[in-house]
Every structure is written in structure tokens, then in C-alpha cells.
Structure 1
């Protein structure tokens, strides 16, 4: 296996880690409107991710940086062709950070309600747009002989990509509801389990349609195996939340996300961005990669830094592992 193949796998792992962690993160943000009944319950939900949400975003920075360094042609075409949706995602992530930090700075009801609206919308929009972006990346976009995207924003909105956006939206919200049930106590935990069950059924239907379509157009034996794992894991996650086993449900929902991402990257390989105009113009792991020397340096850096990141992030989750409820929320000033 060549180093550019190794880095394709590593980038797939980084994106998988990002969607696994930021998935329930976005889901909690969406649930502040769908699940919470009042401000104390919204504070409970936000506090479940309070110690970890910023660490989850490190995976996005690492995935983007690794793509830039290992596959500069892929990075350039992706971020120029998908400029508008990625700009919207970036703006959402920026204002979401501000909303988390500023919401509690004043006790004024209008102030806090406004920032809670920002948290909701800045969680919902990226949940949809990431699915749209990855669906288009697998389906193929208008790339010319110069490796440049020559389509428009509207070319990115098609039935397949919109279905992909709905899958990530429902799957992330389900993942977040399971996490909420895992991290809370009392009535909000019971309602989170009920909502998670309904969301899981919806996500399962949409995921089967989307992954089945992907298998039909771009699949082979390996992608079929990933599809089966994703579907079985999602069904198991829904059943586990139904019987009140939140921990196992969270594990299986995470496996669903990992298997789904594996299927998309397997369907993509050896391409990194297929051209819908001419197969000869596809961006591949070979023609889009950096020099072998660059990849060797990156490999050594990753081998040293990655274990450190995993250890401190795992330690953070361990320290803040306890459940919380409205009884743990101090009264507002």
C-alpha cells in the first residue's frame, strides 16, 4: 500500500471521528428546540456537551488540514467548488461558538432566547449541508480537465444529495437524543428515549434509501458489507434505546455512523472527487496527492501527535461522565 492510500484511509478515519463526535453535538443543539420544554432543560442539554463540544471540532480542523497537506488538489477543488455550502457551515460553527459562550452572560430572557435560536439553527444547517457535500463528492461533480469545478451551487442540489442531507440530519439528531438519554436523569431522560426511538425509525428508513442508492450506483462487495453493518447497527441502536439500554444504543449509533462513512469512502476509492463530465478528469489518490516526501513527514507527525490527542480527549469524556438533570442547574442570576 502506498502512502497516498494510507492517507486516504486516515482522512476517512478523521471525518468519521468528526461525524461521530460532532454528530451528537449537533443533535443536542437541535434538541434544544425539539426536546427541552423550558430554559432549565435547555441548560441541561447544553451542559451535557459543555465540556466537550470544542474538543469535538478539533477533528474537523485535523481532517481539513490533513486533506490540504496530503491531497492539495482535492482540497483546492473541494473548497472552491463547494465554497458556498462550506462557507455557510463555517459561519454556523463560528456563531455557534459565540452562542455557547454569550448565552449565559446576561439573564435577560430575550437575550438568552436569541442565542438559543442561534444554537438551534447553527446546529441544524451544518447537519444538512455535510450530508449534501459528501453525497455530491461520491456522486461526482462537474470537474474539467484542469481539475477545477465548473458547476454552480445549484448543481449541488439534486435528489441524491438532498436525501444525503436528510440522512445526516436525522441520524445526527437521533445520535444526539441517545446521548441526551445517556447523560441525563429524570423526566428529560425518559422523553429523550421516546424521541430517540421515533427519530431512529425515521433515520433508518432514509438511510436504507440513501445507502441502497449509493450501492446501486457505486457499490461493490466491500461497500455492501459496510451497508449491512450500518443497517444492522442502526436497527440495534433503535431497539436498545427502546428497552432503555442507552449505553449500547450510543455504541450502535456510533457504529452506524462509522459504517456509513466507510461505505461512502469505499465507494469513492480510488477517486477522491469523481468528475461527472469525463472519467478521465477524476481526481484520484494518485493525481491529487502531495509528494512522497511530504507524506512521509506527515506520517511521522501523525504517529506522534495522534495518541496524545486521543488520550486527552478520552480523559475529558471520562472526567465529565456523570449524568445531570434540572436539579443540578443553579438558579439564574
Structure 2
């Protein structure tokens, strides 16, 4: 099998897909978290400022989701087919609330009636929270596996996906995004809203710590086999250790009022949590709860070697360009939110 930098093409493409979805979790995570917090702001001006804080970047952040879906489809078509079949209803619900969230952001400011703006505020906040939970539910099911047969066909129903472990993962994801979003909004606001967000950031960080501890205990109960790789490869233990340290560091930085570093620490926490998931499932991507021989791995679910080699070249060009554009947008719209006639 051809290799590059000592890694075979399926492994390299798996890392590319993982990196893109990690970028999505970090970038769209904070604006989903900001949306989930939206109804905590009582004043019209505060809600407008919060919306304009994510206004220049939210749609660009979602580009990473599109890239991730395309990378998964092109690199691991069997995984794409099985996942979208198994999670058909959650993904349709996800797309529906994603559309309504975008509509809410754009339509809210088009009319000045109080009922109009409150309606879109509720839709925006509810859809942001639900997207975060749905992402966590999918991740929780990927962690523990789903019932797929030898033909890689899903044998369960919708309610099989709403199991306790997946729901706990969904709530933990929401808590993480809320902390991430509150920290971002602190950097973009001033005066009374800034003060309110400092309190929200501390409260959401406490909420995340509680859910993270709960999820860790649930993992040990529902998925005791996840410790096997860490026992076999002791150096991997540094990943969950660093995760705990970044969580503590985020809390410490929030208390000290060093918000940009707290935001970076929160982003690193998101990345490390996904790395932990990757360690637990690799080289599998979709784990079968019916029979381990039915697992979809990076080898039996990937495209041809030639396809992977060509797409790696495209990814090596395209992903840095998207990353550079993202950095450019954030740099252009850095600083505190200033309201004007073009604001939401």
C-alpha cells in the first residue's frame, strides 16, 4: 500500500477529515453557543450586538461543515452511505434547524415589530441549541457503535439513537459550545453586556465541567473497553490528561479576565475531545454493535488508492486556502462590535 510521511493514504485521509470536522467544531461551535445564549439577553440592543458579533463569520464557519461532508463522501463513501442512512432523521432535522437558524439571523432585523423580532429570537436560540445537541448525539452514537449488518446497513430505528449515552454526549456538546460562545462574545462586547457575559461565561464553564465529569463516568460505565488502548499505549494517556488541564486552564483564565487566551484554551479543549474520540475508534469509523467483523474501518470503507492520492493533493491546496480566508475574515472584523446602519 502506498504511503506518504510514513502513513498510508486511508490514514492520511482519515486525519484530513478529522482535522476539517475539528475546525468546524471550533469555529461553528462558538457561534452556535452564542445563539444558544441569545435568550439570556433581555434588551434589544444586547441581542443585536450579540448577533453582530457573529454576523461576519457564522456563514463562513459553516463552510467547514460542507468541506467535511465532501471529504467524508469522497474519501470514505461506505461510511458516508451508512452514516446518512442510519442518521437520516437526525440529519434531516439538523438541516431543517440549520436553515431556520440562517433565516432567523437574516430576517430578524427586516421588520421592527416586537413580535416579529421575538419570534426569530426564539427560533434562532432554539435552533442553535438543537444543532449542538444533535451533533453530540451523533458523536455519542459513533463512540458506542450502531447496529449495522454485514452489508453495512443500519438495522435499528430512530429511537435507538436516543440512548442515554448519546443524550449525555449531546448535552455535554451544548455546554461546551455555550462556554466557547460566551467567551467569544466577551471579546466582542463592552459595558453592561460585557459584564453580563463574564457571569454567563463562568456559569457555562461550570455547566460544562459538570457535564464533562458526567460524560466521563458514563463512558466508563457504558464503554469500559475505551480504556484498553490507553493501557496498551500509555503515552496516549497524555491526551485526556491535557484535556483536563485545558478545561482547568479555561476556567482559570476566565476568572483572571484573560479572555482571548481563554477562548484559545476552550478551542483546544474541543480539539482534544475529538482527538480522544479518534483514539477510541481508530482504525474503525463506524462500529457495529451486532458483530465486530461488520465494522467499517478506514480500509474497507475508503475509496481507491489512486482517488485518495489525487484528493490528498487537492486537500493540501484547498484546506490551507480556506483556513487562510477564515483567518483573514477574523482579522478584518477583529475588535469590539460597533453598531451602524448596516448592522443586523
Same structural fold, with TM-score higher than 0.5 when normalized by the shorter chain: yes
Q: Secondary structure at the match of 2:118?
A: helix
How far did residue 212 of structure 1 move?
A: 5.0
- 1:50 equivalent in structure 2: 55
How far did residue 102 of structure 1 move?
A: 1.2
Q: Whole-Å Cα distance in 2 between the matches of residues 260 and 58 of structure 1?
A: 22
Q: Secondary structure at the match of 1:57?
A: helix
Q: Whole-Å Cα distance in 1 between the matches of residues 174 and 214 of structure 2?
A: 14
How far did residue 303 of structure 1 move?
A: 1.2
Q: Whole-Å Cα distance in 2 between the matches of residues 324 and 146 of structure 1?
A: 53
- 1:19 equivalent in structure 2: 25
- 1:247 equivalent in structure 2: 260
Q: What stretches of structure 2 of length at least 5 have no aligned partner? A: 1-6
| TM-score relative to the length of structure 2 | 0.92
How far did residue 159 of structure 1 move?
A: 1.5
How far did residue 330 of structure 1 move?
A: 5.7
- 1:183-332 pair list within 5 angstroms: 183-214=188-219, 216-219=224-227, 220-221=229-230, 224-324=237-337, 328=339
- 2:82 equivalent in structure 1: 77
Provide Cα deviations, 1:213-235, integer angstroms capped at 9, x if missing partner: 44643132265322111121011
1:10 aligns with 2:10: no
After TM superposition, what 4+ stretches of structure 1 lie above 3 angstroms from structure 2?
211-217, 328-333
Contact 1:30–1:124 (8 Å) recurs in 2: yes
1:137 aligns with 2:142: yes
Q: Whole-Å Cα distance in 1 between the matches of residues 214 and 141 of structure 2?
A: 16
2:174 to 165, 169, 172: 169
Contact 2:286–2:297 (8 Å) recurs in 1: yes
Q: Whole-Å Cα distance in 1 between the matches of residues 342 and 159 of structure 2?
A: 48
| TM-score relative to the length of structure 1 | 0.95
User: Number of paired residues?
Assistant: 330
Change (3 A) 1:263 1:4: same
- Cα RMSD after superposing both structures: 1.7
Q: What stretches of structure 1 of length at least 5 have no aligned partner? A: none
